[in-house]
Chains A and B, each alone.
Chain A
Amino acid sequence: METYILLGFVLILSIYLGLELIAKVPSTLHTPLMSGANAISGIALVGALILSRDSDLQNTIAFFAVTFASINVFGGYLVTNRMLKMFKKK
Chain B
Amino acid sequence: MTFLSETEITAIQNIIYIFSSILFITGIKMLGKEDTAVKGNFFSALAMFIAVSITFIDVVNPIILLSGIALGAVVGSLIALKVKMTSIPEMVALFNGFGGLATFLIAWSEFDSNPITFSVTAGNLFQHALVMTTLYIGGVTFTGSLVAYAKLSEKIKIAKTSIITKIFTTIFYISLPFLLYSTFVTPFAVPSFGFFTVLLVLTLLGGIGFVLPIGGGDMPVVISLLNSFSGIAAAFAGLLLSNNVLIVAGSLVGASGLILTVIMAKAMNRSISNILFVGYASSSASSSSSEEQGEVSPISVADAYLILESASSVLIIPGYGMAVAQAQHVVRELGELLEDNGTEVKYGIHPVAGRMPGHMNVLLAEANVPYDVLAEPDDVNPTMDAVDVAVVIGANDVVNPSATEEPGSPIYGMPIIEVHNAKTVFVLKRSMSSGFAGVQNPLFFKQNTRMLFGDAKESIGGLVSEFKD
Contact = CB atoms under 8 A, between A and B. Distances in A.
Interface in A8-67: 8, 10-11, 14-19, 21-55, 57-59, 61-67
Given A14-B251, A15-B255, A41 B230 contact: yes
Given A10-B244, A84-B37, A62 B65 contact: yes
B239 to A, nearest CB: 5
A65 B110 CA distance: 12
B256 A37 contact: yes
A90 B372 contact: yes
A57 B257 CA distance: 33
Nearest to A68: B98
Interface string B448-465: 000000000000000000
Contact of B38 (A16, A47, A48, A85): A85
Contacts of B176: none
Interface residues of A, number: 81
Nearest to A2: B123
B227 interface: yes
- Which range holds the interface residue count of chain B? 35 or more
B371 interface: yes
B25 A17 contact: yes
Given A68-B102, A72-B96, A58 B80 contact: no
Given A7-B244, A18-B28, A70-B72, A86 B366 contact: yes
A50 B38 CA distance: 30
B109 A75 contact: no
B102 A72 contact: yes
A34 B76 contact: no
A28 B241 contact: no
Given A18-B28, A34-B257, A37-B252, A44 B237 contact: yes
Given A68-B105, A79-B88, 15 more contacts: A7-B247, A18-B255, A29-B32, A31-B361, A34-B256, A43-B48, A44-B103, A46-B243, A47-B234, A67-B69, A75-B98, A76-B99, A84-B38, A86-B85, A88-B368
Interface of B: 24-25, 27-29, 31-34, 37-38, 40-42, 44-45, 48, 51-52, 55-56, 59-61, 64-65, 67-69, 71-73, 75-77, 79-81, 83, 85, 88, 91-92, 94-96, 98-99, 101-103, 105-106, 108-110, 112-113, 121-123, 126-127, 223-224, 227, 230-231, 233-235, 237-260, 263, 349, 351, 356-359, 361-362, 365-366, 368, 370-374, 376
Interface of A: 1, 3-4, 7-8, 10-11, 14-19, 21-55, 57-59, 61-90
